[in-house]
Amino acid sequence: MDSGFKKSIKQLETWAALKELLQKSSLDSIQAHEVDLIYRVIQKYSEDAAIRIAYLSNHTIDPLPRYTSVACARQGILLSDYVGPFNQYVQDAFNPDSNLVIFNPNVIFLDLSMRELSPQIYGEFFGLTDVQRRDELCRIVDHIRDWVTVVKKNTEATVLISNFPIPSFPQAGIADAHSDFGEVEFFYQLNLDLIQTFRNDSRVYMFDLERILSYRGKMGAYNPKMYYLGKMEWDEESLPIIADEILRYIWALKGETKKCLVVDLDNTLWGGVVGEEGIGGIKIGVGDPEGEAFFEFQQVIRSLKDRGILLAVCSKNNFNDVMDVFETRKDMPLGVEDFSSMQINWETKCNNLERIAADLNIGEDSLVFIDDNPVECELIRQTMPHVRTIHLPKDPSKYPGVLRHLFEFEKLLLSDEDRTKTIQYHQNSKRKEYKREIGDVERFLEGLGTTLSVFLAKHNHIPRIHQLFSKTNQFNLTTKRYGPSEIEAFIEDEAWFLYAANVADNFGALGLVGAYLVRADSEAVVIDSFLLSCRVMGRGIETAMMNQIKKDFLLEGKYQEIGAEYRKTKKNIPVAGFYEQQGFAPSEFSSSDIQGYQLSLNKVEIIDCPGIQLTEVG
């Protein structure tokens, strides 16, 4: 980092300016003292942080927060952090008046060193009997489980727990693999037990430190001298990679996950230009070194689709030539059916990206565009800055790695809706075609055969409801962003009623597409949140959901009035009049961007929802 950059950092006066500068800068070779400088500037704005993260460990972890804050700042995420005292992670969690609890973190990162946690396992493994090793494994798992139970009780944080790196040099050497319950097997089993212990816990996620350090190289990840001097487990050169992995979790927790990967075709999805080389001349498939690189690249793209990321094509090409490729080259991992939108013509890619976003009914900021042409990529960056644009390297063998390293598509969990996302969008295309055939909107809605289930949310619904709170913008009356721990608290608190809405019709199941959150105490009932996926807007489902609120809390309940509010954002303007349409009257509470509403028992009207059958309430 040159002196001019340092001077620019020191002169910054706003968080926005710092964020912009970091995004334009390459920090791949950043030095420790430069990280410290940027971190000190970030701390000036930490009171407005989007995420509060606590770092707990039984070894010295102090340098890591600086790297994590810089990594997140480059992506526009402002952090504030708390570093627990050395080896006081138990006391911090168990004391309800501790500094950790007072800090009230959104995220807790726990990393435990085996040499501190279990000195016998670390230094005297083969001095223990097989039974003693297994007992110690159980003790470690129980210890971490008990710690998690308490920390979940005393905080509302989402917890990241590092697993344990497998020793590079087992104490028995090469004989370890042939030993009964050897050291390598012990660590594999320990990490597997931790995965299985927390797999169904919506607030706990395993942080794969073993994988990260293996990628970095374990020989370079540890600095024995620094451990002896200051109990620092990791070499500082490994901290940027660990910080980038933490960023992936924070990105997903904030609901920043991109929804759609848009790809070019020639020299991106396959090698060569189909209009010049012809179908048989393009490089794709097994047997040719270059073709195998593109083959693997398509496999990686398909894996994104399988985890709920939409795929689209944006290519300057002859449409028929491209269709002939997909029809003829059956050796490609991807087919036409894998893409939810295809814009193949000679218009500008900017216009086609806009069409893709409109076609899929998502924001342009939900797109990641990937292309081999530097001119096209730069044009998209300049004209559509909200689109994440990736310029591929010249060597196609590096393409799969580029895609695998992207963090924009990270999700904490995969829901049933994620796994069937492409199918749902193809079904939606059929609905649009049916709508064009029918012409009349009322006849169209009645002919869809829509069924709606409204039910109290349970713990297994938390991942999907978190996605709705994080990503729903258009039909979101308040745009409150609740995390998994907060959603779990709503489910368990008798004063809160969190309902989910599941929808299906003649074209297929749309899944869990809506939710509303109501607070009802002895004095009043208030709609805290009301949100619905944009895929089902305008079908009367929102009215059927509101009808159920009216029945539960006014007509069949003990309340005389329901309160609500609409918080205006740039994206939810289409639902500005929703409460008036449902019979609510504006209340005296209002500001420049918030309008309060109320509905009295004597004003309640159940609005007819033709074509919607309510199949479950509970």
Question: Any bridge partners for residue 83, and if so which?
Answer: 55
Lowest-confidence segment of 148-152, 166-170, 534-538 by average pLDDT: 534-538
Q: Are residues 337 and 223 in the same domain?
A: no
Q: What pLDDT is stored for residue 428 in this prediction?
A: 78
- Say if 390 falls within a structural domain: yes
Question: Any bridge partners for residue 509, and if so which?
Answer: 504
Close Cβ partners of 121 (under 8 Å, ≥ 6 residues apart): 114, 128, 133, 136, 186
Q: What pLDDT is stored for residue 414 in this prediction?
A: 81
**pLDDT tier for residue 37 given thresholds of 50, 70 and 90:** confident
Going by C-alpha positions, the residue among 314, 310, 507 that lies closest to residue 417 is: 310
15-28 core/surface letters (b: 16 or more CB in 10 A; e: else): beebbebbeeeebe
Is the pLDDT at 15 greater than 90? The verdict is no
Is the pLDDT at 1 greater than 60? The verdict is no
CATH at 63:
3.40.50.1110
Q: Are residues 112 and 30 in the same domain?
A: yes
Is the pLDDT at 235 greater than 80? The verdict is yes
Q: Are residues 218 and 295 in the same domain?
A: no
DSSP string, 541-607: HHHHHHHHHHIIIIISSS-SEEEEEEE--SS-GGGTTHHHHTT-EEEEEE-SSEEEEEEEGGG--PP
Q: Tell me: the pLDDT tens digits for 92-107? A: 999 999 999 999 999 9
Q: Are residues 225 and 268 in the same domain?
A: no
- Say if 413 falls within a structural domain: no
Range of the domain at 462: 434-617
Stretch 268-278: mean pLDDT: 94
Q: Are residues 354 and 450 in the same domain?
A: no
Q: What pLDDT is stored for residue 217 in this prediction?
A: 86
Cα dist from 194 to 91, 235, 591, 614, whole Å: 22, 25, 49, 41
Q: Are 160 and 108 in contact (CB under 8 A)?
A: yes
Stretch 377-385: mean pLDDT: 95
Is the pLDDT at 165 greater than 70? The verdict is yes
Q: What pLDDT is stored for residue 183 in this prediction?
A: 96
Stretch 461-487: mean pLDDT: 91
Percentage above 70 pLDDT, the chain: 98
Q: Are residues 215 and 177 in the same domain?
A: yes
- Say if 411 falls within a structural domain: no
Is the pLDDT at 618 greater than 70? The verdict is no
Is the pLDDT at 420 greater than 60? The verdict is yes
The more confident residue out of 9 and 125 is: 125
Q: Are residues 337 and 381 in the same domain?
A: yes
Is the pLDDT at 380 greater than 80? The verdict is yes
Out of 253, 274, 300, a domain closes at 253
Out of 405, 422, 442, a domain closes at 405
**pLDDT tier for residue 29 given thresholds of 50, 70 and 90:** low
In this structure, what token pair is assigned to residue 260?
């759609």
Q: What pLDDT is stored for residue 301 in this prediction?
A: 97
Q: Tell me: the pLDDT tens digits for 310-331? A: 999 999 999 999 999 999 998 8
Q: Are residues 247 and 218 in the same domain?
A: yes
- Say if 427 falls within a structural domain: no
Is the pLDDT at 2 greater than 70? The verdict is no
- Say if 489 falls within a structural domain: yes
Q: Are residues 235 and 269 in the same domain?
A: no
CATH at 329:
3.40.50.1000
Q: Are residues 75 and 182 in the same domain?
A: yes
Percentage above 90 pLDDT, the chain: 69
Out of 253, 281, 313, a domain closes at 253
Mean pLDDT score across all residues of the chain: 91
Going by C-alpha positions, the residue among 507, 485, 508, 488 that lies closest to residue 496 is: 488
Q: Are residues 206 and 271 in the same domain?
A: no
**pLDDT tier for residue 520 given thresholds of 50, 70 and 90:** very high
Stretch 494-523: mean pLDDT: 92
- Say if 420 falls within a structural domain: no
Q: What pLDDT is stored for residue 303 in this prediction?
A: 95
- Say if 318 falls within a structural domain: yes
**pLDDT tier for residue 439 given thresholds of 50, 70 and 90:** confident
Is the pLDDT at 421 greater than 90? The verdict is no
Q: What pLDDT is stored for residue 73 in this prediction?
A: 92
Q: What pLDDT is stored for residue 3 in this prediction?
A: 60
CATH at 585:
3.40.630.30
Q: Are residues 456 and 575 in the same domain?
A: yes
Is the pLDDT at 27 greater than 70? The verdict is no
